[in-house]
Structure 1
Amino acid sequence: MSLILRVAARGDGVADDGRHAPLSAPGDTLTDAGEVVPGPHHQAPPCRHFPDCGGCQLQHLDDESYAGFVADRIAGALDAQGLSAPLRPTLLSPPRTRRRATLHAERGLLGFTAEASHRIVDMRECHILAPPLFALVAPLRALFQKLGLKRRADVHLALADQGPDILVTGFAPEGLAAAEAITAFCERHAVARLSLDDGLGPETRWEPQPVTITLSGIPVAFPPGGFLQATSQGEDALVAAVREAVGDARTVADLFAGLGTFALALPARVYAAEGARDAITALKSAAAMRARPIFTEHRDLFRRPLTVAELDRFDAIVLDPPRAGAREQAAALADCTVASIAYVSCNPSSFARDAKAMVAGGWRIDWIQPVGQFRWSTHVELAARFVR
Structure 2
Amino acid sequence: MRLSAFDQFVVKLHSRCNLACDYCYVFELRDTGWRNRPRTMPAAVREKTVARMTEHVRRHGLRRVRVILHGGEPLLAGTAVIDDFAASVRRTVGATGARVELAVQTNGTLLTDAVLDVLHRHDMCVGVSLDGDAEGHDRHRGRRGTRGTSRGSHAQVTAALARLDSPRHRRLFGGLLCTVDLANPPRQTYDALVAHHPPAVDFLLPHATWDAPPAGRSGTRAPYGDWLCEVFDRWDATGRPVRVRLFESVIDLIRSGVGAGVETLGALPAAVAVIETDGALVWTDSLNAVADGASHTGATIFSHSFDGVLALPDAPEHGIGTLCPTCRSCPLVDVCGGGLRAHRHGRGRGFANPSVYCLDLTRLIRHIRHRTAT
Name the TM-score, length of structure 1 as normaliser: 0.27
Bigger Rg over Cα: 1
